[in-house]
Chain A
């Protein structure tokens, strides 16, 4: 199963032609305790790099961007009741939304795991 990453610290996991999107463990560590998440509704159109979701820690609000253009097929409703899933399982149950990309070729521009790890190493 292929996992891709963006420079904005999001991950994308392809399940068939559907992309599951969340934020990385590094991103949740930077945010701190997540207290509120707003996910997009199914049917919402998103542009590449456009605002798709909001994640708030005690201290501040941050945007989660759509990694590519497409249509949202599901927002993770579990995050409304338990936003701390983003901290406890950022790359599992703490996913933000599922989307159908307009063009799966957009994935070619994403980072693979090795490239993302190299990016993190540069940040330290």
Chain B
């Protein structure tokens, strides 16, 4: 994406990023820190050992209001949304009529509305799409006056509980309204690193002040997009635009678990014919984890071959996993090669590099479930 610096949007934490030595890069139309002074490796390891603070204010936040908001959203996603009880949160997908994925998003049932968080690069299209497909009485309110902070890592709860003691009692994938020093905020116990953690939506004008408080805690270090990417890859989580897009279905993407049981019986979401058919009949390709032998990372776009040299698929995310301490990747392979333990070759710079198919994640997930 060719973007002039002057055309880039900034988040409410822009000044703070620069103060902490953030190396700013264009991302989804925003100027964002790819790393700070510590560098991607240390930032990644620190998040797995203590706590990392991420600015994710570029992501899209919105409220869906109206008595039948959940029913309305179910016409656009395969997830069970009407089944969410107050405070429950769910990962789901906006699908297209061909069964492809328009975006992935988080939905939280807040009682009188649903709270949505969508990807930065997709947010304008998502909100236009959702807004254009709502019945009378259901409204989409875009939240553009709030920042979004993610605090991730095994010590995130310790740090945040000093300001909001109640967060200790939350379980993973729940959310609720809280106050931080009298500032109203919405906190979910969630994230995209494979670690325990929280996402905090708060008024833009208050974001820098609270980010400074969190950064003053011994456990907390600022973390850039570089480590965010290596953390989510180790956790086996999909990056929209790389691992999933309009041409990949939830079944191919090994996200069949996001299609609710009732939704499988009833259908009624975009592409449901294709997706439900694939759940029954299978697909020709499937997203898998890949562990290359040796040390050379296999990046997105690397061709995958079977051991006879036949085309087998493509790497969609790949790099070095700092916690794994070696190269890891995800990609799509022919279904006959998707079984864990299968050997394939990754064609790195024209040379066949042996790799083993695995089931992600590549690190143990540390979610607080009870």
Contact = CB atoms under 8 A, between A and B. Distances in A.
Given A32-B35, A36-B297, A59 B40 contact: yes
A33 interface: yes
- Please provide the 6 A-B residue pairs with the shortest distance between their CB atoms, ordered closest to farther: A33-B41, A35-B320, A58-B40, A59-B226, A58-B320, A36-B295
B295 A59 contact: no
A35 B297 contact: yes
Size category of the B interface is 20 to 34
A57 B227 CA distance: 12
B34 interface: yes
A32 B297 contact: no
Nearest to B294: A36
B230 interface: yes
A80 B295 CA distance: 8
A48 interface: no
Contacts of A60: 299
B296 A36 contact: yes
Contacts of A58: 40-41, 44, 226-227, 230, 319-320, 322
A115 interface: no
Contacts of A77: none
Interface of B: 34-35, 39-42, 44, 226-227, 229-230, 295-297, 299, 319-320, 322, 327, 349
A59 B229 CA distance: 8
Contacts of A57: 40, 320
A18 interface: no
Nearest to A81: B295
Contacts of B226: 32, 58-59
A87 to B, nearest CB: 9
A54 interface: yes
A83 B295 CA distance: 10
A61 interface: yes
B296 A38 contact: yes
Interface in A76-101: 80, 83
Contacts of A38: 296, 349
Interface in A24-73: 32-33, 35-36, 38, 54, 56-61
A80 B44 CA distance: 22
A56 B39 contact: no
B40 A33 contact: yes
B39 A32 contact: yes
Nearest to A56: B297
Contacts of B227: 58
B57 to A, nearest CB: 21
A56 B296 contact: yes
Nearest to B38: A33
A54 to B, nearest CB: 7
Contact of A33 (B39, B295, B299, B349): B39
Given A36-B296, A80-B295, A59 B41 contact: no
A61 B295 CA distance: 13
Nearest to A54: B349
B320 A56 contact: yes
B150 to A, nearest CB: 19
A32 B22 CA distance: 13
A59 B296 CA distance: 13
Given A36-B320, A58-B320, 10 more contacts: A36-B296, A38-B296, A54-B349, A56-B296, A56-B320, A58-B322, A59-B230, A60-B299, A61-B297, A80-B295
Nearest to B321: A58
Given A54-B349, A56-B297, A56-B320, A36 B40 contact: no
A44 to B, nearest CB: 14
> Which of A58, A61, A83 counts the most B-chain CB atoms under 10 A from its CB?
A58
A38 B348 CA distance: 12
A36 B293 CA distance: 13
Contacts of B297: 35-36, 56, 61
A83 B294 CA distance: 13
30 contacts: A32-B39, A32-B41, A32-B226, A33-B39, A33-B40, A33-B42, A35-B41, A35-B320, A36-B295, A36-B296, A36-B297, A36-B320, A38-B296, A38-B349, A54-B349, A56-B296, A56-B320, A57-B320, A58-B40, A58-B44, A58-B226, A58-B227, A58-B230, A58-B319, A58-B320, A59-B226, A60-B299, A61-B297, A80-B295, A83-B295
